[in-house]
Amino acid sequence: MLEEYPILTVGDPRLRVRSQPVIDSQDPELQRLIDILLETVQAAEGVGIAAPQLGYPQRVLVLASRPNPRYPQAPWMDPLVVINPQTLAVSDQLARGWEGCLSVPGQRGEVDRHHQVEVAYLDRQGQPQRQVWQGFVARVYQHELDHLEGRLFIDRLDPEAEVLSESAYQARIHSEEEVC
């Protein structure tokens, strides 16, 4: 199934399109897309994915933080489907952190994000939800929300920001683990 839905990569114009709201959260095609997103994010060792990354300009994303080889320090959470998210509030506090992206393979960069976000959304069953996320999960949410707006994390890089290859980033975090 994954071969039918490859992850789009930087340079594909579909990644730059603003997504449209979901009208019917129970549409069987949408539910199938959600299944594909859940499968894809796990197989790709991601911590989040948005529908535009598979070529679907719909306002759907998945948060799936868990420790894995790409993000060994990620906190564990059950995968969460977020439909038509609306950011209600953000903290004034910004945090700089390393980000990578399944659509920008092989690169990491430091990006400033709000430390905390409050979000209203529909869950997979179409039920309204309201959630506050902090730290890493707030970062993942903001990163995936950017995909819904047609943005990539590389658009947010400070011109002076350091950009690393995936292998250099992995070497850095593993050497930091040894020091701690």
Could you tell me what percent of the chain has a pLDDT over 90? 81
Sign of torsion over alpha carbons 142, 148, 149, 150: positive
Kindly report whether the global pTM for this prediction surpasses the value 0.85: yes
Distance CA 67, CA 86 (A): 27
Could you tell me what percent of the chain has a pLDDT over 70? 95
In order of their start, the domains of the chain are 2-179 (3.90.45.10)
* 3 assigned to active site: no
Extract the tokens encoding 124: 């997979």
Please tell me which residue in 144, 149, 160, 162 is annotated as part of the active site: 144
Q: Do 53 and 46 form a contact (C-beta atoms < 8 A)? A: no
pLDDT in tens, 90-117: 999 999 999 999 999 999 999 999 999 9
